[in-house]
Structure 1
């Protein structure tokens, strides 16, 4: 199954569907799209993420989900909802402590038919990788240890790019 992310906003609800292997490759465009929507200031009633067809997701994507959830809580006082996660997706989220942060439902939620495929147009920046992993590191001491070396390298690269 090819890596793909589909997105649509309808009736003040955001819909995101992941298919196949979801990795950092698709995260730059997704981050820009969703955070620009948050910045509009218009209410968001719900944010649904369907992971029923997700074979794998990397830590960058999971960190981005944490970031989306933090922003939803801050702006709308609501958590994102993970819809019918595959066994693999659920195991990966449990392993990093995400399942306690988000709402999870096993029953299907109707998603729009005409969702837009988020094609990769940007590469994942050091800033994106750094912030995604910082989101994960905030969740537990275990995650801090797990991502410490990567964080150190990314922070150094980010600091050098900022000069």
Structure 2
């Protein structure tokens, strides 16, 4: 009997509507999708137009890597700085909530367990760029700022990434 390799889908869907940003994660959300997401969201922040809310639906997310969680911290920091508001995590799955709790994200963001109406015609963020050393480094530095425990968890990775970045310059 031949077993087919099981592929776990990973997808991020994005839409901005009425000064609200909507992001929905499905499956395994990893660094593979983070470069395009980072560019999209931070370019929106740079436009300077007000953002009323930033909703992230993680109800169908069954895994998030540290790069994606570090990016969430970065989004939250930017929202606080520019709009004096936090991002809102909508109905995180049990796994997503556990991963966020493990790194201390739940104290930074708003979490709602009731549904938020998301637009129907969201755009699937496709992978066009690889996760750069800069993206990985900044995402993990965001996580390291949250706690001493995180500093210890990511110290070795941070050292390697910092070394790689220094070589690139």
Q: Common fold, TM-score beyond 0.5?
A: yes
Aligned to 1:57: 64
Q: Are 2:29 and 1:22 equivalent residues in the alignment?
A: yes
Equivalent residue pairs, number: 162
Aligned to 1:101: 108
State the alpha-carbon separation in 1 of the partners of residues 103 and 72 from structure 2.
12
Where do residues 119-134 of structure 1 align in structure 2 (5 Å cutoff)? 119-134=126-141
SS of the counterpart of 2:158?
helix
Aligned to 2:15: 8
State the alpha-carbon separation in 1 of the partners of residues 168 and 111 from structure 2.
38
Q: Are 2:151 and 1:144 equivalent residues in the alignment?
A: yes
The two structures have a TM-score, normalised by structure 1, of 0.99
The two structures have a TM-score, normalised by structure 2, of 0.95
Give the superposition deviation at 1:124. Answer: 0.2
Measured on the aligned residues, the alpha-carbon RMSD in Å equals 0.4
SS of the counterpart of 2:48?
coil
Long gaps (5+) in structure 1: none
User: Alignment partner for residue 164 of structure 2, among 145, 157, 160?
Assistant: 157
User: Alignment partner for residue 82 of structure 1, among 78, 85, 89?
Assistant: 89
Aligned to 2:41: 34
- The structure that has the greater radius of gyration is 2
SS of the counterpart of 1:114?
coil
Long gaps (5+) in structure 2: 1-7
State the alpha-carbon separation in 2 of the partners of residues 6 and 128 from structure 1.
20
SS of the counterpart of 1:109?
coil
Give the superposition deviation at 1:67. Answer: 0.0
Q: Which runs of 4+ in 1 moved over 6 A?
A: none
